[in-house]
Amino acid sequence: AFRAAQLDARRAEASRRTEEAAGAHAAHEAALESFFERVRPAVEADPARVLKPTVASAAMAEEVGDGPFQPVRGYRDEQLLSDMRHKIFGALVQAGLHNSEYGRKLVLAATPAQPAHLKSAMPFLGTRAAEV
């Protein structure tokens, strides 16, 4: 009788834990659904909308126009040719040294025409912040 009571108590505890887990899961699902209701976009279901241009891409198309010249989205020739690294690399290619260790070190040691970022042109802040 004692063992049967213990077994019944264990089963009751296991079923209580299962019910608690199911309740916690249901509460979690309800919280997720509530969250999704708040952040779900208010747009109609229109599969053809995927193929339409966005506002940003339409504005860019208007800016570019239908002319023969497109805006430059990279480096211009003057920028490349004014960079000392480009000139050094061209000379190394002509000499056949661009794949050598010496050529790599020479190109890496050359300074760019302009700093890559604004931060690289600024002094480091820290102990010298009072001096700046």
Whole-structure pTM over 0.75, yes or no? Answer: no
- Residue 29 burial (CB count, 10 A): 10
| pLDDT tens digits along 33-84 | 999 999 998 888 888 888 888 888 887 766 665 666 666 667 778 887 888 8
Q: Percent of the chain scored above 70 by pLDDT?
A: 75
As a whole number of angstroms, the distance between CA 10 and CA 95 comes to: 86
pLDDT category, 116, cuts 50, 70, 90?
Answer: low
pLDDT tens sequence across 12-24:
999 999 999 999 9
- List the alpha helices (DSSP H) in the chain: 2-39, 55-64, 77-82, 84-95, 101-109, 118-121
3-class SS letters over 2-35: HHHHHHHHHHHHHHHHHHHHHHHHHHHHHHHHHH
